[in-house]
């Protein structure tokens, strides 16, 4: 089992709160096509300066730990990740483990 820290691709979909440094909502689409919502400070997802006037969606990412590698029923590779470590990030539904496609992992 790998324990690498990487980044998983998300889409920043809207600006929620201007309080410094700003809060945004973003989506992570898992390998089954389900969209998970995250709400946190802008720097968690991007180094760009975003505000209510920025165009959305914007590309972003969330740091994650690779938990396991596997394959789906068609033999396509899958990656199980955890966003709980290193930054303690959970979806709005309280989920922190996701199965994604390798193409969603940066680096």
pLDDT, greater one: 98 or 20 = 98
Closest C-alpha among 37, 86, 31 to residue 64: 86
Which pairing describes strands 58-71 and 5-17: parallel, antiparallel, or unpaired?
antiparallel
Mean pLDDT of the chain: 95
Give tens-digit pLDDT for 15-42.
999 998 999 999 999 999 999 999 999 9
Which residue reads 């959970």 in tokens? 90
**Is 0.85 topped by the overall pTM?**
yes
In terms of phi and psi (left: phi > 0; alpha: psi -120 to 50; beta: otherwise), the region of 57 is beta
What residue segments make up the domains of the chain, in order of their start? Answer: 5-106
Tell me the pLDDT band of 1, cut-offs 50, 70 and 90: very low
């Amino acid at each position: 089992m790998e324990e690498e820290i990487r980044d998983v691709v998300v889409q920043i979909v809207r600006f929620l709160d201007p309080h410094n440094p700003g809060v945004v909502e973003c989506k992570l689409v898992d390998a089954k096509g389900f969209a998970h919502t995250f709400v946190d400070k802008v720097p968690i997802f991007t180094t760009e300066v975003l505000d209510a006037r920025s165009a959305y969606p914007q590309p972003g990412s969330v740091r994650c730990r690779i938990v396991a590698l596997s394959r789906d029923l068609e033999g396509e590779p899958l990656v199980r990740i955890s966003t709980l470590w290193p930054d303690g990030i959970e979806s709005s539904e309280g989920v922190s483990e996701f199965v994604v496609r390798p193409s969603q992992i940066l680096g």
